[in-house]
Structure 1
């Protein structure tokens, strides 16, 4: 579960291009079918600048979040439940803040685990934004994981863009580079592909069937592991 509030927007453009929609590690297994369900909604303008968000990721997590936004920043607070294989569901409290402008912004995120009375996460980051280039630097997972990413929009009319991410995790001394791109073949058909230095290659096709319904077929394979099988995922998104 992402309990990262407004902080989640830092680096989101590159992250969505490189990871959103791809076949992921299955969350649940039911009679030979790996499945999960994500539901989210938000209520805007409760009062000017204030909105509420709800998210349910079955069987992984659930959260509710309250955000206040202004022209030069915002704050958010949330409460959620995160699945734990040993302890069931852990309750988390999250606080997130963002300050800056459309050109440069700074943000931080703090999560507290009520059951263990420990800080579950602390993250910080900054983002540089322009019409052509969006770049960011994040320090996540209690500052254990450092990521630098960028996304270049080549042609907005065809959604053509490329993105790259450099990620280093100190606890396991692991460094990975991921690059990817996307292009709209037709107004309602988007294709994406990515590859990283660990030998993982992925791709997907997203088709908008109707105005509020999208179908995505994605695949992922580890080229360095001859014993692994390609993962193929199918997802349906309904927007209201």
Structure 2
């Protein structure tokens, strides 16, 4: 539904993506092998410090069904089965991890012309209940989310926000951390090649303010350079190159200007898709 509002989790997403997406200060390698039969395979390796982790993920996409199975280096098996249009405009997903018998979860999403509703319930005796909703349109949406832990009979989260999306800019205002913080974000497309973004957070309990600003610039159709600066003195940059169709190499770096004798953080991510 092109006129439907995005889910509540997407409010402020454009600014978050510009400021944080694809930044990686470790070593990551991803190989994706698509298939014309609907069965795809993805292998991922991730090295952080001196520890190497990896997983193999297979995804089968049918007409109304998606089956996602992932196995990691610790022999944990994660499975997610998604059913699309089981009811009009409704999508349901059942997920669980083996051997964690308490990890089962059921997610249901409903999209209406003027509403987007997401719900989640844990499949165990003391489930975690989550509900989020957004109303409006693709240009202007207002929503909120709550999470309730039946084990402790307490709310673990309740947030609210409003988002405005236009072709050349996007703005969002979010009340987060159980009403303890107010977050404002803005992203603006200066021209077809360059965008800038800013995010500011105010905490009511401590009266502290923090901010992050960043930019993204397309050097050419295959190369993107991003920069980021936070009030904490951390400066970061990213350079991503599509060296063949859908295959990316990304170099990231971050330096903390307020730390004496700080060593820059460097990261490299390679994603291959034949």
TM range (shorter): 0.7 to 0.9
Where 1:13 maps in the other structure, the secondary structure is helix
Residue 118 of structure 1: aligned partner: 154
Distance in 1 (CA, whole Å) between partners of 2:209 and 2:84 is 40
What TM-score does the superposition give when structure 1 sets the normalisation length? 0.76
The answer to whether the 8 Å contact 1:23/1:231 transfers is: no
1:176 to 207, 210, 218: 210
Residue 87 of structure 1: aligned partner: none
The answer to whether the 8 Å contact 2:162/2:174 transfers is: yes
Distance in 2 (CA, whole Å) between partners of 1:45 and 1:238 is 32
The answer to whether the 8 Å contact 2:26/2:49 transfers is: no
The answer to whether the 8 Å contact 1:22/1:220 transfers is: no
Where 2:7 maps in the other structure, the secondary structure is helix
Instruction: Tell which deviates more after alignment, 15-24 or 187-196.
Output: 15-24
Identify if the C-alpha distance between structure 1 residues 149 and 24 changes in structure 2 by more than 3 Å, giving closer, same or farther: farther
Distance in 2 (CA, whole Å) between partners of 1:25 and 1:200 is 17
Residue 174 of structure 2: aligned partner: 138
Where 1:8 maps in the other structure, the secondary structure is helix
Distance in 1 (CA, whole Å) between partners of 2:94 and 2:261 is 40
2:91 to 40, 47, 51: 51
1:92 aligns with 2:128: yes
Distance in 2 (CA, whole Å) between partners of 1:80 and 1:211 is 40
2:198 to 159, 164, 178: 164
1:81-113 residue CA offsets vs partner (Å, 9 max, x unmatched): 9xxxxxxxx963311100001221101011123
Structure 1 runs not aligned, ≥5 long? 82-89
2:108 to 58, 66, 69: 66
Distance in 2 (CA, whole Å) between partners of 1:215 and 1:55 is 31
CA-CA distance at 1:64 after TM superposition = 5.6
Structure 2 runs not aligned, ≥5 long? 1-5, 28-45, 60-67, 69-81, 97-102
Where 1:155 maps in the other structure, the secondary structure is coil
Residue 105 of structure 1: aligned partner: 141
1:218 aligns with 2:216: no
Distance in 2 (CA, whole Å) between partners of 1:129 and 1:137 is 12
- Which has the greater radius of gyration? 2
Give the alignment's Cα RMSD to 1 decimal.
3.6
1:22 aligns with 2:23: yes
Distance in 1 (CA, whole Å) between partners of 2:181 and 2:202 is 6
